[in-house]
Every structure is written in structure tokens, then in C-alpha cells.
Amino acid sequence: MITGVEFWRMKCHLSVDALSKASAVATTTINNMERAYSPTALAGPYIRLSTVLGVSVDELVRDYNESLLEEGDRVTYRWKDKPVVLANCIACYRNEKNISLETLGGQLGVTRERARVLCKAETPNEKHVARLARREGVTEAVFHQRYDPKKEGNE
């Protein structure tokens, strides 16, 4: 599940920085709203965001299933012009499933930051590969083949 703020920001193909500039709401406030960290009690930021995103405040405060996002809804951030480098099968899995680091971390039972490190590692952590393979209902060998970063389309 993701917050309405994050869902509608992605649907509108905006980065947090771009939404912040368009709405005059601080990036920290938007990040807190997206992560549901002590949601702000002030209506002003929600009203400004709803105006920019073209949705009601009610739509911003509800949660959405991440599966409702379509391919291409995720916004690439400051590295958008750099080529995507998929270091290992865990990174390829995340890329093909179009899931956030937070979601991947939840699937692996680790933090978002640890998920980021796992995606950047030259060789994948086999304990985590095994967990994802079980989730996919395949063997670890099949998982490695399916999400091999060197296969065509993942380079």
C-alpha cells in the first residue's frame, strides 16, 4: 500500500522536487506525507497538492494498492538521464516487477536502505535470492535465469 500523495504524484509523472516547486510545499513535507510519518494536521499542504495533482484532498489521504500503478508511472529522479545498470538478479527482479525499494525490502524482511544495497551488490545475497525464488514459486536456479542481468532486455 502507498499513500494517495505518492500514488497521484506518480500517476502525474512528477518527482518530489517537481511537485514541491509546483505546489510550494516543502520536499520534506511531501516525503513525510508519502511515508505517513506523523501526517501533517494542516490542510494547506494537502489543498495545494490536490490543486497541482488535479485530485481531491480525500484522494490524497487514502491508501492505494501499488499494483494500480501502470508501467511508466514510476518517476526516475535525478539520475533519469543515466543508463539503468542492473547489477544482479535482485535488481532485475525489482526492475521487472516495477516495485519500490520499500516494497522489495518488505518482501525480503529488510529495510529500504538494505534493499538498495542488495540491488547494487555485484553478486546477490543467496539468502535473499532464495526468499524471492520461493515468492515466485521457482527454484533459485530458475530465479537466477529469469532475472539474469546479462540476458537480453536487462542490459
Other residues' Cβ atoms within 10 Å of the Cβ of residue 72: 9
Q: What is the pLDDT of residue 126?
A: 93
Q: What is the pLDDT of residue 100?
A: 84
Q: What is the dihedral of CA 131, 93, 15, 40, to 10 degrees?
A: -20
Which run of H or of E encompasses 77?
Answer: none
Tens-place pLDDT, residues 41-85: 678 888 999 999 899 988 888 888 877 777 666 655 444 455 566
What is the distance between the alpha carbons of residues 61 and 45, in angstroms, rounded to a whole number? 12
pTM value? 0.49
Tens-place pLDDT, residues 132-148: 999 999 999 999 999 98
Spell out the domains of the chain, with CATH numbers in brackets: 2-68 (1.10.260.40), 89-146 (1.10.260.40)
